[in-house]
C-alpha cells in the first residue's frame, strides 16, 4: 500500500505540494484515492503490519496529511486523519495480539518489511499525543519482539536497522 500503492503516491503528492513543486491542492488531486484508503482502513481489510504493505504504510499517508498547514486544527479533514490514525493503532494492536509465535517470526528486523518499520511508525504516532497508554503498550510489545529477535539471531545488516530505531527513541 505504501511501497507501491495509493498511500505512497499520496504521500509523494503531498510532499511535492509542501515543497512548492506542484501547484494543485493535494486534497483535490487525491480525494478519491484518499477515500479508498479510509475504506480499507475502517473496513479492517488490511491484515499486514509492515511499512511497505500494511497499516503503518497506509497511516504514513495520514501522518503526512496532518502536517499540511492549509487545514485548521479543528477542520473536518484533520479530525478524519486523526480518527484514521487512532483506528490503525487499534487494528495494529488487534493484529499483533492475534498472531501466533510463528506469524510474529515471519517478519524480519528491517524497516521496510519488518518490526523496525512498525516501531518507527509507532514513535511517529506517539509524538502526536493520541491514545498514549495504547501507544506505550504497543511500543513496548514491539520493542520486546525486536529485542528478542536481536538476542536470538546471528549478527546481520538487518539488525543495524533495528538498533537505529532504538537510538532514535
Dig out the grid coordinates for 58 from the structure. 497506509
User: Considering the chain, what is the average pLDDT of its residues?
Assistant: 84
146: in domain: yes
CA dist 144 and 32 (Å) reads 38
Contact of 21 with 3, CB cutoff 8 Å: no
**Within a domain: 74:** yes
Specify whether the CB–CB gap between 122 and 60 falls below 8 A: no
Specify the number of domains making up the chain: 1
Q: Name the grid cell of 119.
A: 516501531
Give the residue among 137, 109, 112 at the shortest CA–CA distance from 125: 137
Calpha distance 65→150 (Å, rounded)? 34
Q: What is the pTM of this model?
A: 0.84
Q: pLDDT tens for residues 101-132? A: 888 888 988 888 899 999 999 999 999 998 99
Tell me, yes or no, whether 1 lies in a domain. no
Location of C-alpha cell 518507527: 120
pLDDT in tens, 24-64: 887 777 778 888 888 888 887 788 899 888 889 889 888 88
Instruction: Flag whether 56 is in a domain.
Output: yes
Q: What is the structure's pLDDT at 159?
A: 65
The answer on pLDDT for 134 being more than 90 is yes
Confidence of residue 84 (pLDDT cuts 50, 70, 90): very high
Residue 67 lies in a domain: yes
- Asked whether residue 154 is assigned to any structural domain, the reply reads yes
Burial group, residue 87, by CB count within 10 angstroms (0-12, 13-18, 19+): middle
Percentage of the chain with pLDDT > 70?
Answer: 89
Whether pLDDT at 137 is above 60: yes
Question: Stretch 151-167: mean pLDDT, rounded?
Answer: 69
Residue numbers of the domain that contains 90: 6-168
Amino acid at each position: 500500500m505504501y511501497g507501491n500503492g495509493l498511500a505512497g503516491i499520496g504521500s509523494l503528492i503531498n510532499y511535492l505540494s509542501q515543497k512548492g513543486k506542484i501547484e494543485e491542492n493535494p486534497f483535490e488531486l487525491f480525494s478519491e484515492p484518499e477515500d479508498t484508503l479510509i475504506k480499507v482502513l475502517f473496513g479492517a481489510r488490511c491484515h499486514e503490519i509492515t511499512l511497505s504493505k500494511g497499516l503503518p504504510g497506509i497511516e504514513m499517508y495520514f501522518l503526512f496529511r496532518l502536517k499540511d498547514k492549509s487545514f485548521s486544527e479543528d477542520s473536518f479533514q484533520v479530525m478524519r486523519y486523526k480518527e484514521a490514525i487512532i483506528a490503525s493503532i487499534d487494528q495494529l494492536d488487534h493484529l499483533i495480539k492475534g498472531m501466533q509465535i510463528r506469524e510474529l517470526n515471519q517478519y524480519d528486523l528491517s524497516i521496510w518489511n519488518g518490526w523496525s518499520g512498525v516501531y518507527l511508525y509507532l514513535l511517529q504516532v506517539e509524538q502526536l499525543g493520541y491514545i498514549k497508554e495504547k501507544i506505550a503498550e504497543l511500543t513496548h510489545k514491539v520493542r520486546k519482539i525486536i529485542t528478542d529477535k536481536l538476542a536470538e539471531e546471528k549478527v546481520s545488516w538487518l539488525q543495524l536497522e533495528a538498533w537505529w530505531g532504538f537510538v532514535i527513541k
